[in-house]
Structure 1
């Protein structure tokens, strides 16, 4: 009854002009109906506007999110859901929406201050000991992050803080959760996750205070807000931007199956490299062993032994030849010596006559009859006296060798 009375009262209202900002446009395929979410930036209120596609194309062609428009509409109350909406028959676009303009201005400001600088973005740890997760309570984003992360690495630990992810209380709660996780020494990475939503729903993640809080965190922050097409300002400040919460789970922990596969591939490469190195070294050793000096190490000694033997034989032959020649020369010399030696003359029967003083008698006239003389023979000596009947006059001639007389 109350809903009907409210609907009846609203139905009595006439057509009005409403100024607002387009937070979201929904065009359903196959129908001419277009749904607009019209937002009042100053009052932080929004209202659904239903209109025809022709009305939008005629009054605001190329209408985009964030555009500032004026609609001529009639309020309607849907009793079944208790919701208030506007049915528009005319739309006029008055320029770029104030909201997007503010966000664009804030984006330029933060970029100028270096909050978007890629040089300051930190790399995520390969395997974090604990992951901090900031998300809505019992949300699909929380389920996606936890499920996919544990599927990839079953032992990963999480510290989850549930906060409001839209509305006026979202920003303070998210900032407080960031401070708590950043102070936790066991948390190695922080994930800021939220599922898809309208541009209006994602506005807290473009708040300046939140962006500065993310920038001030000592712990690496992963932003996983909305879908691929949603790009709030916190995505530019975070160290890593994930397109979805599922993508964030893939970025924060490695895949155990992939790591085992990579380890297997690395092991195979290592085995091949080691085998190749061993083969090369074996070939090198074989080449070294095939060298004559290594394959037959005694050949060098044998060659030198042969050379030494040849030199020794040559030396022996030379020495023997020299000895033989020296022996021959010695024999010839000995023969000549024996030929010239007085002893040889004595051996032929001659004798040497010497006076008593030892001088040799070379002529008969050198002695007188009765003088004692000594006859030196080849073997032994004889004492004799000069017989007077054998004396002769002395003769003068040079004394070259001892006089010899035939032995009796």
Structure 2
């Protein structure tokens, strides 16, 4: 006689459901730990560069230059009045490239839906022309003058209706590269450690700040901040480097060599991109990016004019009639119009935020989000 109490074997369908639930739970725990929970990098980094404000790599601020010009002009007023009739006012040469037929970007399965795996996307000449040939509305909304930095903030817009783009420009002059600083959320290097831009800015007594490259969203890429190297496990993204002599250069993944830039005095290095201009102010013919990043989005970017002079831009977006956001081609054209030689795309979307004198001055998508790092200038 069989024991009626003997346990019965679980049906196959129940086993499949149970295994599926357990597997989903395991994946969920892994993703929670790897992509959500903060964990410190447990490193203080390695010092690779220092900026001495007393060295030869110092630059004159515009106000100092104006004062100097005023003093010298008073001494030379008699001479200049005699020669003024023979001096013609010089005008900058402007070269306009005729619009070309739009070339559709390549699309691959690997980068269609997410930001993994970069590819070369040709710049959109029609979009570039729509910026360079358009009338730009500009309003100065604030400024700051200190001993080591001068900052002028502009709100600008181009286009109309559903094509309107609104962006904020910080025209920055500093006395040396060390004035441009960076900060980590909670002053801690690591993954998924986040804070809001305003909190990080206030912690460091910043007069001005902008979001960085969100280095803490991944474990790949170069990270050099304030002359300290935290990691250099490279990926396929472009790199932007600010050197101690005040110069800025952008690199493709193939061009970049960590040892080389460190030997040259890398003060800051960001890894997001892509690079936008060719070093002479011209828009690149293609961008090393993904489909999603190549479309219209809120943006932040850093631009280089000359040692001691930099342009930072934050583009609002996803708000039709106020600002649609910018494609990479449009952003590159904006940076070129601002007089930049090199320019580099920082993290964007909800991360695109600019802070000045105690508050966020742009209109971030969805109110913005917590991020891992900022670029700032102390007050």
Which is strand-richer, 1 or 2?
2
Pairwise same-fold verdict (TM > 0.5): no
Structure (1 or 2) with the greater helix fraction: 1
Could you say which TM-score interval applies, normalised by the shorter chain? under 0.3
> Which structure's relative contact order is higher, taking Cα pairs within 8 Å and 6+ residues apart?
2
What is the TM-score normalised by the length of structure 2? 0.19
TM-score, normalization by structure 1 = 0.18
